[in-house]
Amino acid sequence: MLALCRAQEALGRLDEVAHRSPLGKGWGHAVRLREVQQLAHLHGIHVSLREVWQTQLPGSTTRIATVPMVRPYLDAVMGECPRWLSELGGTMPRSAQTALWHLRMLRRGTAPAFDRLPAMLAAVGALRDVWLPLVTAITAHPTDYLAALHTTTQTDSADPLVSHFAHSIVNACHAEITLIDRLTALRTHLLTTARGHTGHILEVIAALTTTPVLNNRWISEQHKITTKAATNITDTLVSQGILAPHPYFKWGAVLPCACTEPFSSWAGCVAV
């Protein structure tokens, strides 16, 4: 099937782009969090991407109302990949293998069928990390997914669902490469505006495109500096318009204003 070949080629290109990108170190983590949001949405829990990101911050700012409802999806997506996923093997194209696994797991329920999908392409060796938001890709247009699933059920042939997975993966790979390029350009721009600065502040700026919500304690722990030094960094970046104070937590998370526009192109990303 031509679509499967195109999906394989698109995955290879995305894998290389993400691996070589300066965003690569944090891209897999960012994709996982986007998948957490999408899984929550599929189960009727409407949570903003900013709220999902806040769950990764140390301190009291993580105590938001949606955390208990989102926790099961965080545990499923952010936890270690089960060994049995990486042992699936097989010689068929990885996108087809993933679609067939999803179809089998649907017999057990929607939770097991979707919760492990984010890690599947990495587990079967199609990607070096979770570079692609697969759940978001196949459910970006829910009616198309449901139609493919319905046809598969009615015809007793997996081809419609496999085809849907393949086409969704191709489109999502292209979108992710475009997003990586845009965020890489934004990263370069932010670092250019920070000329004259040295040390940890540049490391914080460089990480903003994959860690758009942070707080002083996170900076302190990540960069092994004092809370006072971290506060000086965020104060400087807020004064330069790179970060904005959180609307609810005076001493909590800060949002990189300059990153908002590219993030708005992420599927399902609202109210960042």
Do 7 and 64 lie in one domain? The reply is: yes
- As a dihedral over the C-alpha atoms of residue 46, residue 49, residue 51, residue 57, rounded to 10 degrees, the angle is 150
Do 19 and 52 lie in one domain? The reply is: yes
Do 174 and 223 lie in one domain? The reply is: no
The verdict on residue 110 lying in a domain is yes
DSSP state of 80: P
Q: How far apart are CA 146 and CA 223, in angstroms?
A: 45
| Whether the Cβ atoms of residue 268 and residue 172 lie closer than 8 Å to each other | no
Distance in Å from the first CA to the final CA of the chain:
39
The verdict on residue 123 lying in a domain is yes
The verdict on residue 268 lying in a domain is no
Do 64 and 166 lie in one domain? The reply is: yes
The verdict on residue 272 lying in a domain is no
At residue 106, what is the residue type?
Answer: L
Do 25 and 90 lie in one domain? The reply is: yes
The verdict on residue 173 lying in a domain is yes
pLDDT tens per residue across span 33-69 = 999 999 999 999 988 888 888 888 887 555 566 778 8
The verdict on residue 106 lying in a domain is yes
Do 34 and 167 lie in one domain? The reply is: yes
- Whether the pLDDT of residue 156 is over 70: the answer is yes
Looking at 182, 211, 234, which one is the last position of a domain?
182
| Whether the Cβ atoms of residue 164 and residue 98 lie closer than 8 Å to each other | no
Q: Which two tokens stand for residue 268?
A: 């399902």
Q: Provide the number of structural domains found in the chain.
A: 2
Q: Is 54 helix (H, G, I), strand (E, B) or coil?
A: helix
The angle subtended at Cα 221 by Cα 215 and Cα 224, nearest 5°, is 125
Average pLDDT over the chain, rounded to an integer:
86
Q: Is 86 helix (H, G, I), strand (E, B) or coil?
A: helix
CATH classification of the domain holding 202? 1.10.10.10
Do 88 and 133 lie in one domain? The reply is: yes
Per-residue confidence (pLDDT) for residue 81, from 0 to 100: 66
CA 72, 74, 76, 79 dihedral sign is negative
Per-residue confidence (pLDDT) for residue 243, from 0 to 100: 87
Segment 182-191 shows an average pLDDT of: 91
Q: Is 56 exposed, middle or buried (0-12, 13-18, 19+ CB in 10 A)?
A: middle
Per-residue confidence (pLDDT) for residue 242, from 0 to 100: 86
The verdict on residue 189 lying in a domain is no
- Whether the pLDDT of residue 154 is over 90: the answer is yes
Instruction: Name which residue leads in pLDDT, 81 or 269.
Output: 81
Per-residue confidence (pLDDT) for residue 267, from 0 to 100: 36
The verdict on residue 50 lying in a domain is yes
Per-residue confidence (pLDDT) for residue 268, from 0 to 100: 32
Per-residue confidence (pLDDT) for residue 223, from 0 to 100: 95
Do 150 and 226 lie in one domain? The reply is: no
Q: Is 137 helix (H, G, I), strand (E, B) or coil?
A: helix
Task: Count how many residues are written for the chain.
Answer: 272
Q: How far apart are CA 90 and CA 96, in angstroms?
A: 11
At residue 146, what is the residue type?
Answer: L
The angle subtended at Cα 152 by Cα 150 and Cα 155, nearest 5°, is 105
- Whether the pLDDT of residue 90 is over 60: the answer is yes
Give which of 5, 16, 12 is closest to 180, Cα–Cα: 16
- Whether the pLDDT of residue 167 is over 70: the answer is yes
User: Which of 59-73, 127-141, 153-167, 232-246 bottoms out in mean pLDDT, i.e. has the lowest?
Assistant: 59-73
Do 44 and 105 lie in one domain? The reply is: yes
Do 81 and 201 lie in one domain? The reply is: no
- Whether the pLDDT of residue 99 is over 90: the answer is yes
- Name the one residue in this structure whose structure tokens are 């350009």: 185
- As a dihedral over the C-alpha atoms of residue 168, residue 173, residue 175, residue 179, rounded to 10 degrees, the angle is 150
**pLDDT confidence bin for 265, thresholds 50/70/90:** very low
Q: What is the domain extent for residue 211?
A: 197-263
Do 36 and 152 lie in one domain? The reply is: yes
Do 130 and 216 lie in one domain? The reply is: no
- Whether the pLDDT of residue 114 is over 90: the answer is yes
- Whether the pLDDT of residue 269 is over 50: the answer is no
Looking at 126, 158, 182, which one is the last position of a domain?
182
| Whether the Cβ atoms of residue 26 and residue 33 lie closer than 8 Å to each other | no
Per-residue confidence (pLDDT) for residue 58, from 0 to 100: 87
Per-residue confidence (pLDDT) for residue 261, from 0 to 100: 52
Q: Which two tokens stand for residue 201?
A: 């502040």
Looking at 131, 149, 182, which one is the last position of a domain?
182
- Whether the pLDDT of residue 84 is over 70: the answer is no
DSSP state of 254: E
- Whether the pLDDT of residue 246 is over 50: the answer is yes
